[in-house]
Amino acid sequence: MKIFLAFFSENIYFSYLCTQILRDIKMKQTKNTASSIHCQCGVDLPEESRKDNIRNVRATGVEQHVCIFTGARPNFVKVAPIIRAIDCAEGISYQLIYAGCQDDPTIEPSLFDDLQMPRPDVFLGVDCENLNELTGRVMAAFERYLDNHATDTVIVVDDLASTMAAAIVTKKHGLRLAHIVAGTRSFDINMPKEINRLVIDGLSDLLFTAGMVSSSIATREGAEMNKIYMVGNILMDSLRFNHDRWQRPACLDGVEDGHYLVFTVNRKVLISDNEKLQQMMDVISRMAGDIPVIAPLRGKAYMLASEKSTFCVTEPLSYLEFGYLTLHAKGIITDSGNVAEEATFNHVPCITLNSYTEHIETVKQGTNVLVGENIEQLQESLRLLVEGEWKHGSLPDRWDGRTAERIVQTLLA
């Protein structure tokens, strides 16, 4: 709790708000308190957000209205299975909310068709770099949404600042909050996302975890056992659903399946360190030898990789193309936790350029190894990969592609 308060200590509004929320949690209040604060950020919801256009309304009547909140592109991959599971269920309806704008450049035009899911019902239209400002603006916009739409449960995913904002507003409205991918920790309090995780899990009524480690973390931090549900990794649902729908990308023309490496990098800290990134790319290029390295990149990383003869650099791929690329790779080098998790499901060797993972199962049971930014460890791992001496992995418990079914069953219980 002290961490939660300290995070916003420079902002009087947020400090006071956090104090009120923590008091509410202690008292286990289920309705709005008299001290509720209304953010006056001047954010207007789009016109369509004022329409109570609830999907999946059954002729027999609806027992539960669910709001599915998303804050960034990766969230859509995780909520698509939830939407399909709700569509197959009785007595539950949903609306899909996105914190960003309709023309968000990070969302490729084909994404929703690729995932076979609808576009969001409501775009809150929040777009700013400062995380404190973003949090306040999302809170204001999402509060307006809840004021105008009957909602019983709000589902949030992952650990973004916008996710935390939605969680806070949800509990100030006295609504049930469900957190998908709960209990993940880096144990580095200097990371903004770590604070987001602590806050969201602390507010949640339902904590849906990917494995026993995450469930144990939630328990140790004080969550009641009847709130924690080990449902598995929701990413696997999308992989299982799309297994026969992957599309071979053009960048693989002339390249044989199973005889190439994939390289991705997205962490700002790593991309901003030119020297370190150059060293890593040099090692990858040298150890790969005549094995092509397919690198879907953007910005500075794209330019640096373009200078390496072994690298076949391409613009970021669509969801279905990237799924094919990673499924048929000889190995993957990445700093993405999601890519590492998918590699474990696909039994593809994966080297993660990070010193931690939120899902340690990918290392203990899966095909993932952590090398951080250590050049020697990267080189040795690449040697094992290229020479075919990689460890054998297995699937963690409940990473079976049926996570969404378990979540919806719990919501209806």
pLDDT at position 280 over 80: yes
* CA angle in degrees (0–180, nearest 5) for 213-355-197: 50
pLDDT score for 388: 95
pLDDT score for 24: 52
pLDDT score for 137: 97
pLDDT at position 192 over 50: yes
φ, ψ at 289 (rounded to 5°):
65, -120
pLDDT band at 60 (very low <50, low <70, confident <90, very high): very low
pLDDT band at 16 (very low <50, low <70, confident <90, very high): very low
pLDDT band at 346 (very low <50, low <70, confident <90, very high): very high
DSSP annotation string for 349-401: -EEESSS--S-THHHHTSSEEE-TT-HHHHHHHHHHHHTT-PPP--PPTT-SS
What is the mean predicted confidence (pLDDT) over 357-386? 96
pTM of the model: 0.85
Instruction: Give pLDDT tens digits for 123-157.
Output: 999 998 899 999 999 999 999 999 999 999 999 99
pLDDT score for 199: 96
What is the mean predicted confidence (pLDDT) over 213-226? 94
Report the alpha-carbon distance of residue 141 to residue 122 in Å, rounded: 11
pLDDT score for 67: 98
pLDDT band at 34 (very low <50, low <70, confident <90, very high): very low
Instruction: List alpha helices for 10-158, DSSP H.
Output: 12-27, 73-87, 111-115, 131-148
Indicate if the alpha-carbon torsion angle 349, 355, 358, 360 is positive or negative.
positive
pLDDT score for 62: 52
What count of other Cβ atoms lies within 10 Å of the Cβ of residue 20? 16
pLDDT score for 21: 52
pLDDT at position 45 over 50: no
What is the mean predicted confidence (pLDDT) over 250-273? 94
pLDDT at position 43 over 50: no
pLDDT score for 190: 83
pLDDT score for 30: 40
For residues 268 and 182, the model is more confident at 182
pLDDT band at 61 (very low <50, low <70, confident <90, very high): low
pLDDT at position 53 over 60: no
Buried b vs exposed e over 316-341: b needs ≥16 C-beta within 10 Å? ebbbbbbbbbbbbbbbbbbbbbbbbb
Task: Please tell me the chain's helix, strand, coil percentages from 3-state DSSP, rounded to the nearest 5.
Answer: 45, 15, 45
pLDDT score for 189: 87
pLDDT at position 90 over 80: yes
pLDDT score for 38: 31
* CA angle in degrees (0–180, nearest 5) for 211-217-222: 130
pLDDT score for 329: 98
What is the mean predicted confidence (pLDDT) over 395-410? 97
What is the mean predicted confidence (pLDDT) over 73-95? 97
pLDDT score for 386: 97
Q: Percent of the chain scored above 70 by pLDDT? A: 85
pLDDT score for 5: 42
Mean pLDDT of the chain: 87
User: 73 to each of 118, 169, 372, how far by Cα in Å?
Assistant: 14, 22, 25
